[in-house]
Structure 1
Amino acid sequence: MSTEETNSKKEVIRKKMLEHQSEARIVRKIVLTITILTLLIFVFIGGGGYLYIKSALQPVDKDSKVQKKVEIPIGSSVTGISEKLEANGIIKNARVFKYYVKLKNEAGFMAGEYELSPSMEIPEIINRLKTGKVLQKAAFQLTIPEGKQLNEIAQIIAKTVNKPEEEVFNQLNDKTFIQSMMAKYPDLLTTDILNPNIKYPLEGYLFPATYPFYKQNPTIEEIVVTMLDQTKKVITPILAESNKEELTAHQLLTMSSLIEEEATEKADRKDISSVFYNRLEQGMPLQTDPTVLYAQGKHKERVLYEDLEVNSPYNTYKHNGLPPGPIANAGKESIEAAMNPSDTKYLYFLATSEGEVLFNNTLDEHNEDKAKYITNK
Structure 2
Amino acid sequence: MFRRTTKEGLTEKEKQARIVRKIILITLAVLVTLAAAAAIGGWLYISSSLKPVDEDSEEQVSVEIPIGSNASDIGSILEDADVIKNGTVFQYYVRYKNEQGFQAGMYELSPSMNIDSIIDQLKEGTMMKEASFSFTVPEGTWYEDIVQTMAEAGPHDVEEIKTKLADEEYLNQLIEEYDALTETVLNEEIRYPLEGYLFPATYEFVDENASIEEIAARMIEQTEEIMVEFSEQVEESDYTFHELLTLASIVEREARQKEDRPKIAGVLFNRLEEGMRLEVDPTVSYAMGEHNYMTSSEDLQTDSPFNTYQHTGIPPGPIASPGRSSLKAVMNPEDNNYLFFYARPGGEVIYNEKYEDHREVQEQYRQEWVEAREE
TM-score, scaled relative to structure 1: 0.73
Q: Deviations over 1:141-193 (max 9, x none)?
A: 1211111111111111111125332222222222233223223x341211111
Partner of 2:27: none
Cα distance between partner residues in 1 of 2:155 and 2:118? 39
Partner of 1:72: 63
Q: CA RMSD in A?
A: 4.5
Q: Tell me if structure 2 keeps the 8 A contact 1:207–1:227.
A: yes
Partner of 2:143: 150
Q: Secondary structure at the match of 2:361?
A: helix
Q: Tell me if structure 2 keeps the 8 A contact 1:71–1:111.
A: no
Q: Secondary structure at the match of 2:215?
A: helix
Cα distance between partner residues in 1 of 2:239 and 2:127? 38
Cα distance between partner residues in 2 of 1:277 and 1:373? 25
From the superposition, tell whether residues 237 and 79 of structure 1 become closer, same or farther in structure 2 (CA, over 3 Å).
Answer: same
1:215 aligns with 2:215: no
Q: Secondary structure at the match of 2:134?
A: strand
Letter in 1 for 2:157: P
Q: Deviations over 1:83-127 (max 9, x none)?
A: 247x53xx674234468999x9x9x99673344863649987776
1:178 aligns with 2:178: no
Cα distance between partner residues in 1 of 2:93 and 2:229? 16
From the superposition, tell whether residues 193 and 344 of structure 1 become closer, same or farther in structure 2 (CA, over 3 Å).
Answer: same
Partner of 2:16: none
Q: Cα offset for 1:249?
A: 2.1
Q: Once structures 1 and 2 are overlaid, which stretch shifts more, 186-195 or 340-349?
A: 186-195
From the superposition, tell whether residues 371 and 362 of structure 1 become closer, same or farther in structure 2 (CA, over 3 Å).
Answer: same
Q: Secondary structure at the match of 2:263?
A: helix
Partner of 2:310: 318
Q: Tell me if structure 1 keeps the 8 A contact 2:233–2:331.
A: no
Q: Cα offset for 1:331?
A: 0.5
Q: Cα offset for 1:328?
A: 0.5
How many aligned residue pairs are there?
A: 349
Partner of 1:289: 281
Aligned with residue 344 of structure 1, among 333, 336, 357: 336
Q: Cα offset for 1:320?
A: 1.0
1:83 aligns with 2:53: no
From the superposition, tell whether residues 171 and 109 of structure 1 become closer, same or farther in structure 2 (CA, over 3 Å).
Answer: farther
**For 1:7-46, what aligned pairs fall within 5 Å after superposition?**
none
Q: Cα offset for 1:353?
A: 1.7
Q: Cα offset for 1:265?
A: 3.4
Q: Secondary structure at the match of 1:315?
A: coil
Aligned with residue 308 of structure 1, among 300, 317, 322: 300
Q: Secondary structure at the match of 2:298?
A: helix
Letter in 2 for 1:81: I
Cα distance between partner residues in 2 of 1:372 and 1:255? 28
Cα distance between partner residues in 2 of 1:218 and 1:290? 33
Partner of 1:254: 246
Q: Tell me if structure 2 keeps the 8 A contact 1:53–1:96.
A: no
From the superposition, tell whether residues 225 and 142 of structure 1 become closer, same or farther in structure 2 (CA, over 3 Å).
Answer: same
Cα distance between partner residues in 2 of 1:374 and 1:123? 58
Cα distance between partner residues in 2 of 1:53 and 1:351? 62
Cα distance between partner residues in 2 of 1:333 and 1:134? 33
Cα distance between partner residues in 1 of 2:354 and 2:47? 63
Q: Secondary structure at the match of 1:211?
A: strand
Q: Tell me if structure 1 keeps the 8 A contact 2:156–2:212.
A: no
Q: Deviations over 1:312-340 (max 9, x none)?
A: 11111111110000011010001111111
Cα distance between partner residues in 1 of 2:45 and 2:309? 58
From the superposition, tell whether residues 343 and 158 of structure 1 become closer, same or farther in structure 2 (CA, over 3 Å).
Answer: same
From the superposition, tell whether residues 208 and 187 of structure 1 become closer, same or farther in structure 2 (CA, over 3 Å).
Answer: same
Partner of 2:348: 356
Cα distance between partner residues in 2 of 1:94 and 1:100? 10
From the superposition, tell whether residues 162 and 52 of structure 1 become closer, same or farther in structure 2 (CA, over 3 Å).
Answer: closer
Letter in 2 for 1:113: Y
Cα distance between partner residues in 2 of 1:101 and 1:279? 49
Letter in 2 for 1:155: Q
Structure 1 unaligned blocks of 5 or more: 1-39, 61-66
Letter in 2 for 1:159: E
Cα distance between partner residues in 1 of 2:46 and 2:155? 50
From the superposition, tell whether residues 82 and 113 of structure 1 become closer, same or farther in structure 2 (CA, over 3 Å).
Answer: closer
Q: Deviations over 1:16-71 (max 9, x none)?
A: xxxxxxxxxxxxxxxxxxxxxxxx9xxx9xx99x99999999999xxxxxx99543
Cα distance between partner residues in 2 of 1:328 and 1:141? 21
Q: Once structures 1 and 2 are overlaid, which stretch shifts more, 68-77 or 350-359?
A: 68-77
Q: Tell me if structure 2 keeps the 8 A contact 1:348–1:366.
A: yes
Letter in 2 for 1:150: Y
Q: Secondary structure at the match of 1:168?
A: helix
Q: Secondary structure at the match of 1:305?
A: coil
Q: Tell me if structure 2 keeps the 8 A contact 1:351–1:358.
A: yes
